[in-house]
């Protein structure tokens, strides 16, 4: 039986960098370093073809247009490979993973994102273990979704969030089980994995920049700050609320301005500043006015999934009313219904 053939797409990130006098910068011979590493493990790995971006993306500079480029690159090569590994910077990996899950709905093969906290060119790098395991997962018949592999754990891409800038356990999924954990072997949680779809349902619209703004509530935040954000005429605003979806209700002007924004076509979404748990607007009296103002609760989605999902829905050309409805629909395992 022939070995699986994996598309390995290097978009950028720490994994392909080296130390310079000015700090980390892309290494000029990444393909050679990668081949040297993987050739040593050739008997245990699938075949791969490297697709290397001419100008690596520093993930802190990534935009929705970059998500679109990666999604379209996967779609263009979809029939040529049995699975994909996407090498990406860790800072915004969870945003890209979430966006890919909405673009590549109904996947029938793995799309595994990985990278490293320490460059491949450095001793004690976590890149070799992440790369090798990600390729093995991408050759598995068990996974049919976008996932992040990092430090022995496989996470649903649109459920993951970066939790550490220093630890090798850079990612976790606070509201969803790990899809797999690796030790001496790979142990998949078959109940957590998405079932294989009957047919792909890819959506690859133009990711023109719709303005989606976050507003994080802090004690004493002046209402005029919220109004200043709304004056920018965003397509959507993500309200990062306290607890289960609470905002200060002592100032009626705040809820009134949210109500006016909603009536004017701004999609208002409430999420929690707490990473674990589900938003339930109106659990406390302090959040009761949110529903009347037209605010939509984000359930147990991560901030990254919320942000990417709103961009995706607006890129489809949907009206604000339809976006509000579709936002609450589970598209690719990003929320618990």
The Cα-based distances of 236 to 172, 230, 261, 309, 310 in angstroms read 26, 9, 10, 11, 7
Nearest by Cα to 160 from 168, 88, 149: 149
> What residues are labeled active site?
14
One-character DSSP codes across 231-253: TT--SEEEEEEBTTTB---S-HH
For residues 6 and 114, what is the distance between their CA atoms, to the nearest angstrom? 14
For residues 118 and 122, what is the distance between their CA atoms, to the nearest angstrom? 7
CB 192, CB 176: distance < 8 Å: yes
How many CB atoms sit inside 10 A of residue 162's CB?
17
CB 240, CB 269: distance < 8 Å: no
């Amino acid at each position: 039986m022939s070995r699986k053939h994996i598309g390995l797409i290097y978009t950028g990130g720490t994994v392909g960098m080296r130390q310079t006098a000015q700090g980390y910068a892309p290494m000029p011979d990444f393909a050679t370093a990668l081949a040297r590493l993987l050739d040593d493990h050739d008997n245990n790995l699938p075949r791969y073809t490297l697709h290397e971006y001419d100008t690596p993306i520093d993930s802190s500079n990534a935009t929705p247009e970059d998500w679109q480029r990666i999604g379209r690159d996967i779609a263009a090569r979809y029939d040529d490979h049995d699975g994909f590994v996407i090498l990406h910077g860790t800072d915004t990996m969870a945003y890209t993973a979430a966006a890919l899950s909405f673009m590549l709905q109904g996947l029938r093969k793995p799309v595994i994102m990985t990278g490293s906290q320490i460059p491949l060119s450095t001793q004690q790098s976590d890149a070799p273990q992440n790369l090798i395991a990600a390729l093995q997962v991408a050759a598995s018949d068990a996974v049919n979704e976008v996932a992040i592999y990092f430090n022995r754990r496989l996470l649903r891409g649109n459920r993951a969030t970066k939790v550490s800038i220093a630890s090798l356990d850079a990612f976790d999924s606070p509201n969803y089980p790990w899809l797999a954990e690796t030790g001496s072997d790979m142990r998949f949680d078959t109940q957590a994995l998405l079932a294989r779809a009957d047919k792909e349902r890819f959506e690859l619209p133009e990711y023109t920049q719709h303005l989606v703004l976050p507003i994080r509530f802090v004690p004493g935040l002046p209402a005029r700050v919220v109004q200043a954000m709304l004056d920018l005429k965003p397509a959507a605003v993500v309200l990062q609320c306290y607890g289960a979806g609470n905002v200060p209700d002592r100032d009626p002007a705040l809820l009134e301005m949210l109500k006016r924004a909603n009536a004017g076509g701004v999609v208002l979404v409430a999420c929690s500043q707490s990473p674990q748990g589900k938003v339930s607007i109106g659990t406390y009296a302090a959040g009761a006015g949110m529903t009347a103002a037209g605010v939509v609760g984000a359930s147990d989605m991560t901030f990254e999934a919320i942000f990417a999902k709103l961009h995706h829905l607006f890129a489809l050309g949907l009206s604000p009313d339809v976006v509000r409805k579709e936002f609450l629909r589970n598209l690719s395992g990003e929320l618990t219904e």
